[in-house]
């Protein structure tokens, strides 16, 4: 499993991905973000699914970028071209993978801005090759282990939040997943793309750098629960409120 998150804000796009790769009983670390940075031309791809499918699709796509990259002027065209490579891999490998008991399940987050995009765009690409664009209403998308990181994003994140706040929420979302799932862990890779900068900033963080932030958040959660005014719940401890349930 994995954890990849893309966030669209009014200022630009924030992305985060863990690096843990689990194969049977073996655990390794590998980058899950592919980036392209050129003049007025920047985008990234994050993936979740079988690593062999991902690597093959990215390899095919790199050839396309080398040969045709100058022909792309909007991000949706990049998404369509990467989708073509996923479908190519499906044609070659899906049947044999399914015969071996494995599922062809490469999900992707594609974010970036090309010359004729009015602003950075963010897309969720499905294994079948179709996609949706992420917008203001729900300005984030997760692939991989999606359950544990959702609550804080839904509670705290809004399209108008600045990018620094969005990155903090992104980390806390990852941290909630890391604590709850043993197949998601440090190091994490982040990507930042500001509006019209055409320059993706990449950074890797390990647990030594962010461990104190995680501990501080845990302490604040505990203190917040203790300080919460919840007298109405205390009635659950009063005997006079007990009810006897009669068996029929």
Provide the 10 A C-beta neighbour count for residue 207. Answer: 13
pLDDT of residue 64: 96
Order of strands across the sheet that contains 107-114: 33-38, 41-48, 107-114, 121-125, 131-133
Burial class of residue 32, CB neighbours in 10 A (0-12, 13-18, 19+): buried
Percent of the chain at pLDDT exceeding 90: 87
Look at residues 10, 17, 21 and name the one whose alpha carbon lies nearest to residue 173.
17
Do 44 and 51 contact (CB within 8 A), yes or no?
no
Is the pLDDT at 245 greater than 60, yes or no?
no
pLDDT of residue 23: 67
**pLDDT-derived band at 130, boundaries 50, 70, 90:** very high
Quick one: DSSP state of residue 111? E
CA distance 129 to 67: 21
Average pLDDT of span 167-193: 96
Residue appearing with tokens 């179709």: 130
**Span 149-179, pLDDT tens digits:** 999 999 999 999 999 999 999 999 999 999 9
Q: Bridge partners of 68?
A: none
Radius of gyration over every alpha carbon of the chain, rounded to an integer in angstroms: 21
Average pLDDT of span 33-37: 97
3-241 maps to CATH 3.40.50.300? no
Is the pLDDT at 197 greater than 60, yes or no?
yes
pLDDT of residue 246: 58
Show me where the domains of the chain are located.
3-241
CA distance 11 to 159: 9
Is the pLDDT at 238 greater than 70, yes or no?
yes
**Span 83-99, pLDDT tens digits:** 999 999 999 999 999 99
Q: Higher-confidence residue: 50 or 24?
A: 50
Burial class of residue 216, CB neighbours in 10 A (0-12, 13-18, 19+): exposed
């Amino acid at each position: 499993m994995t954890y990849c998150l893309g966030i669209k804000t009014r200022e630009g796009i924030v992305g985060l991905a863990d690096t843990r790769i689990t194969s049977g009983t073996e655990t390794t670390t590998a980058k899950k973000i592919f980036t392209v940075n050129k003049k007025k031309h920047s985008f990234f791809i994050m993936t979740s699914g079988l690593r062999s499918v991902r690597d093959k699709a990215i390899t095919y796509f790199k050839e396309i970028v080398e040969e045709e990259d100058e022909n792309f002027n909007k991000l949706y065209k990049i998404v369509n071209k990467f989708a073509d490579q996923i479908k190519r891999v499906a044609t070659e490998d899906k049947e044999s993978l399914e015969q071996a008991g494995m599922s062809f399940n490469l999900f992707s987050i594609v974010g970036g801005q090309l010359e004729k995009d009015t602003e950075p765009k963010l897309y969720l690409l499905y294994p079948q090759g179709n996609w949706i664009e992420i917008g203001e209403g729900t300005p984030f998308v997760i692939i991989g282990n999606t359950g544990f990181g959702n609550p804080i994003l839904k509670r705290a994140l809004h399209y108008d939040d600045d990018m620094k706040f969005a990155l903090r929420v992104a980390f806390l979302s990852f941290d909630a997943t890391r604590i709850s799932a043993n197949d998601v862990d440090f190091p994490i890779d982040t990507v930042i793309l500001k509006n019209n900068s055409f320059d993706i900033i990449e950074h890797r963080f390990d647990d030594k750098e962010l461990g104190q932030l995680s501990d501080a958040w845990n302490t604040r959660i505990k203190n917040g629960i203790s300080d919460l005014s919840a007298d109405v719940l205390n009635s659950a401890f009063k005997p006079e409120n007990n009810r006897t349930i009669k068996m029929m």
